[in-house]
Amino acid sequence: MISKVLVANRGEIAIRVMRACHEAGISTVAVYSEADKDSLFVKYADEACQIGPGPARGSYLDIESILKAARKTGAQAIHPGYGFLAENPHFARSCEDSGITFIGPASRVLELVGSKTTARNIATDAGVPVVPGIEDCSDFNLCSRQIESMGYPVIIKPAEGGGGIGMQVVRSKNELKRALETSMAIAASAFGRQNLYIEKYLDRPRHIEVQILADNHGNTVHLGERECSIQRMHNKLVEEAPSPAVTPRIRSEAGQMAIDFARNIDYRGAGTVEFMYCEGRFYFLEMNPRVQVEHTVTEMVTGIDIVKEQLRVASGLPLSMRQEDVTFNGWAIECRINAEDPLNNFAPSPGKLTGYRSPGGIGIRVDSGVYNGAAITHFYHPMISKLLAWGRDRSEAITRMRRALYEYIIAGVKTNVILHKAIMENPDFVSGRLSTEFLALNNGLIEDMLRIEQRDSKATERLKGAFGN
C-alpha cells in the first residue's frame, strides 16, 4: 500500500479522505490556505503545509505549490477530493510526470470525459443512449434550424466544466441568441474555452447516477444508483440511495450501462456515470471521474468504503469485492448543510460559528469540517457538512432525517437546515414524486419554511441554551 497521501483539498472531504487513510495505516498531509490555517482538517492531518493565500487560485488551484508540498513531505500519492483540481488533466499529468501517484483516473481519461461532447460520443460508442442534441453551436442560423427540427425547450451547456455553471434553458427562438452569447461568455471565463453544446430539455426528468469502481486487474463493478433530482441552479441539495423510481431490473440495466461506458475508456478508480431518467428511459448525461459529494449514501447502503477502494486501486491492488459481492441494505438520505439563507434567495452567510451541536443516534452520519468557533469564509463554497440518515426503508430514513434536522443546532450563521426540514415534510418528496424541477414546482416551500421555523423556534432556543449564549 501507499504509505503517505497528500490531500489536495479542504473541509469535510479532506477529513473524509484522511479518515480512510487512517484506517488503512496511511500517513496524511494537509495543504491549506492562509484562510484555513485554523480549520479542522489541518489539525486532523499528520502533517500540514501552508501553500498560499485565501483565494483558491493562489492556493488550492496552484499545482506547483501542491507538488512542492508533496515532494517536501515525501508524499507518494495525492488525493484531489472533489472540486478544485480533481478533474484537471494537467494536474494529473503533472503528478504522473513527477512520479507521484494521482488517486484518480489517468490524465488521458480526464481529458476524454472532461469534454462533455467527447463523453457523449464515447457513450454512443458504448451503446449508452444519449439525449438528442447539437454539438456544434458556432453557426447560429444552422443551430437555430436544428433546434426547430428537434423542438423547444433545449438546454445550453458548456462543453467543459461542471457544477451547472453556464447552463441555460431556452424555451423559444427569441431567447436563443442571447442565451448562447451569455453561456459562451460564462464558459470562456469559468473554463477557459467557450465551446458549447445543446441538448433537448427533458420534461421533469429525474437525475439518477450510478457509482462505479474499477481496478487494474480487469474488475469493474457498480454499486447501484443514487437519486439526485432535488437541485437548485443545477446544484444538488438532497441525494438518496437507492432511487424510489428504480427496480432491481432497472438497476441492473443502468449499472451495466455505466460499466460499459467505463470499460470503453479503460477507466480506473472511483467514478460516477450520471443519467437523466425520463418516461422509463435512461439518457447519458456525463461522467464525473472522481469521488462525488454524495458518495456517502452509497456507502451507507452497501457498507463499502469508496475512498478505501480508491486507495487500493492507486496502490495496484484489486478491488475488495466483485459484482456478486455487492449487496444493498436499507435506505440512505443525504442533506447538504450550507451556510446560506434560503429565505433570502440563498444568499451566502459567512461568519463564525458561535455554537455548533451536530445530531447523533442510530442511523445518523455527519461528515463535517467544522467545530464550535470555526469560521465559514467567503473564499469557498459555504458547505458546513453533509448530514446522512439511514433506515431499514425509505420511510424510516425520512423519519430519522427529520429527527436529525430537529437536533442540528448551528449558531452564528444562517443555514439551509430549515429548507431541508420543509423538503422532508413535503408530500411530493415523501411519496417519491421527484424531478429536477422539484423546487420550482413546489412554490409553497417558503411558506412551509416560515411555518416550520415558527413551530420549532422554542425547541431550537432551548438547545441553543446549551452553548451559554
Cβ atoms 223, 251 nearer than 8 A = no
Q: Which residues pair with residue 155 across a beta bridge?
A: 169, 199
Grid coordinates of 144: 437555430
pLDDT at 278: 93
Q: Which residues of the chain have pLDDT under 70?
A: 162-163, 468-469
Burial 65-101 (b: 16+ CB within 10 A, else e): bbbebbeebebbbbbbbbbbbbbbbebbbbbeeeebb
Q: Give the global pTM.
A: 0.92
pLDDT in tens, 263-296: 999 999 999 999 999 989 999 999 999 999 999 9
271: its cell numbers: 467514478
Domains along the sequence of the chain with CATH: 4-103 (3.40.50.20), 132-200 (3.30.1490.20), 206-467 (3.30.470.20)
CA distance 228 to 334: 10
Of 120, 268, 290, 312, which is the active-site residue? 290
Does the annotation count 290 as an active-site position? yes
- The set of cell numbers assigned to 253 is 440495466
Sign of CA dihedral 92, 93, 95, 96: positive
Q: What would the pLDDT profile of 161-212 be if each residue is shown by its tens digit?
A: 766 788 889 999 999 999 999 999 998 888 878 889 898 888 899 999 999 9
Q: Find the length of the chain.
A: 469
Per DSSP (E only), the strands in 412-464 are none
Describe the crossing of helices 394-407 and 417-425 by its angle, rounded to 10 degrees.
150
User: Would you state the pLDDT for residue 155?
Assistant: 92
pLDDT of residue 468: 60
Return d(Cα 17, Cα 77) in angstroms, integer: 12
